[in-house]
């Protein structure tokens, strides 16, 4: 049976690409096995499936798959799928806000200059255990003296984050993915004043079937919660990600009250139908 299909590039405001997500519409009749098989076939970091919501507050329900498994939440698939849903005529209950239902719960999005999602609560936060941090730092191949801190920032995919002394340290990383194993590691370092963004970020998740994710909403949401909570930043900031992969991802972090909004541009690059 044929279903509408979109492939959306997320977090790329300029001519160079960001992070693509494959979106299958009207997926209510598909089985989990069919979804997983298709996600494995696309071989993108995430493939999503739009379904009717089960909760009355939600505008739609989203299931998110990597090539190897299902995720309760992920950032760039959330934005790209919302963009695709709106583009195909989806009408939210509130004109300025969308509510996505996913395994992690209800996620709010807002429509302004760019789409943004509200960072979901962390499933795990706080200091990283010494043995886990030692494994993460060793797998990154970074001098421990360049590590300024680390924290669990897990909002679904299992992220821990490491803060390095500079953006150049982040860009110089050449990880050992065998040593990293099942860890999902985000790394951030500050650019100097006047740089292309406030922070450079990279995200490594070999256990999810994507050794390095080009641009990652979920890890940036978690890092923002850590940075704001601990006073590493005191307000909004910008992130560049994907540079090491030839991408040009840019994200905005905008705290407002108790909510942290993570935003970026979206554009559909492929539309059509798929047979599943």
Instruction: Please give the full DSSP string across the chain, using - where no structure is assigned.
Output: -EEEEEEEEES--SSS--EEEEEESS-TT--HHHHHHHHHHH-SS-EEEEE--SSTT-SEEEEEE-SS-EES--HHHHHHHHHHHHHTT---SBTTEEEEEETTEEEEEEESSSEEEEPPPPSEEEPPPHHHHHHHHHHHT--GGGEEEEEEEESSS-EEEEEES-HHHHHT----HHHHTT-EEEEEEEPPTTSSSSEEEEEEEGGGTEEEESS-HHHHHHHHHHHHHTTS-SS-EEEEE-GGGT--EEEEEEEETTEEEEEE-EEEEEEEEEE-
- Assigned token pair, 103: 């395994």
Active-site option among 29, 33, 46, 70: 46
87 is an active site residue: no
- How far apart CA 26 and CA 50 sit, in angstroms, is 6
Where are the strands (E) in 103-173, listed by range? 105-111, 115-118, 124-126, 147-154, 159-164
Contact indicator for 82, 8 with CB cutoff of 8 Å: no
- Torsion of the alpha carbons at 222, 128, 234 and 17, rounded to the nearest 10: -40
**Residues labelled as active-site residues:** 46
């Amino acid at each position: 049976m044929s279903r509408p299909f979109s492939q959306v590039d997320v977090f790329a405001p300029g001519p160079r690409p960001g992070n693509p997500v494959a979106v299958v519409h009207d997926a209510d009749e598909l089985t989990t096995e069919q979804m997983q098989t298709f996600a494995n076939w696309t071989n993108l970091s995430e493939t999503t499936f739009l379904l009717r919501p089960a909760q009355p507050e939600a505008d739609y329900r989203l299931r998110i798959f990597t090539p190897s498994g299902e995720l309760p939440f992920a950032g760039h698939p959330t934005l790209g799928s919302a963009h695709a849903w709106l583009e195909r005529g989806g009408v939210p209950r509130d004109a300025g806000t969308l509510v996505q239902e996913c395994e992690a719960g209800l996620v709010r999005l807002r429509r302004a200059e760019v789409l943004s999602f509200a960072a979901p609560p962390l499933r795990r936060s706080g200091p990283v255990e010494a043995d886990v941090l030692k494994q993460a730092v060793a797998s990154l191949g970074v001098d421990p003296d360049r590590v300024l801190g680390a924290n669990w920032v897990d909002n679904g995919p299992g992220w821990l984050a490491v803060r390095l002394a500079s953006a150049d340290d982040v860009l110089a990383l050449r990880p050992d993915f065998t040593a990293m194993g099942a860890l999902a590691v985000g790394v951030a370092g500050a650019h100097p004043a006047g740089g292309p963004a406030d922070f450079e970020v990279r995200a490594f998740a070999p256990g999810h079937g994507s050794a390095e994710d080009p641009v990652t909403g979920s890890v940036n949401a978690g890092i923002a919660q850590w940075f704001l909570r601990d006073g590493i930043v005191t307000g909004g900031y910008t992130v560049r990600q994907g540079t090491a992969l030839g991408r040009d991802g840019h994200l905005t972090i905008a705290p407002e009250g108790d909510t942290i909004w993570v935003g970026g541009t979206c554009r559909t690059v492929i539309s059509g139908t798929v047979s599943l």
